[in-house]
Amino acid sequence: MTSDITIPADDHDTVRVFALDMPADGIARFRDRREDTDDPAAAWPLRHALGADHLDPDAVEAFPISDLEGLGLSGYLTEGHGIAAQDVLAARDRLDAVTGAVVLLPSRAFGGVAQTLHPRAPLDYVGAFHEAGARPAGPAPQSAAASAAAAQQAAPPPEPNRSRARAPVRVPVFLGLAVAALVILVIALLVTGTAGPAGGGASGGGG
């Protein structure tokens, strides 16, 4: 008898494999959901046999092993689902022992719904296999460089250089004062130059 299987809400990058003891001509009826009956066992035999609370029919695979001729179940998991080679190698004997038909349930088949499966005949649980590079649920570890970059992004931005911020204000003021002084100087020179000739003419007339 297959033990209960816990599916967490954050389950991802995992394919669960079940041997299916059923002739090829019965697989479609077992796999597909029907809308013409209220009997749970008849409406969707696969979900009923799994004891699943939620199952996405579009994510389910069920087919005869003979469909994998030349590739095998191990090869299909590696090449078709990207399962890590070490996972497949560790379970090769169990996978190669599957005959007849197989049911594959990727994580997306459970739609992020936490649940506990209670598999029963004609299903027999083979195991869970993880995609290459998949990580367990939770925060991913960071390298030192990534941690430093994250800390830098979290730090408050530095205050602007106040002396530089005021420079654009002071320069126009100084420039304006210089121009004003130059204008005053020019006026003074003009006034002085005008007054000099006028005074000389007055002295000559008095002699």
pLDDT string in tens for the chain (207-residue length):
568 999 999 999 999 999 999 999 999 999 999 989 889 889 999 999 999 999 999 999 999 999 999 899 999 999 999 999 999 999 999 999 999 999 999 999 999 999 999 999 999 999 999 998 765 544 444 444 444 544 555 555 445 444 444 444 444 555 666 667 777 777 777 767 665 554 444 444 444
Beta bridge partners of 105: 16
> What tokens does 9 get?
């809400």
Handedness of CA 21, 22, 28, 34 (dihedral sign): negative
Handedness of CA 188, 193, 199, 202 (dihedral sign): negative
Q: How much is the pLDDT for 135? A: 53
Q: Which distant-in-sequence residues (6+ apart) come within 8 Å of 156 by Cβ?
A: none
Separation of alpha carbons 106 and 17, rounded Å: 9
Beta bridge partners of 6: 116
Q: How much is the pLDDT for 133? A: 79
Q: How much is the pLDDT for 193? A: 66
Question: Would you kindly state where each structural domain of the chain is located, as residue ranges?
Answer: 5-130
Report CA 24 to chain centroid distance, whole Å.
Answer: 40
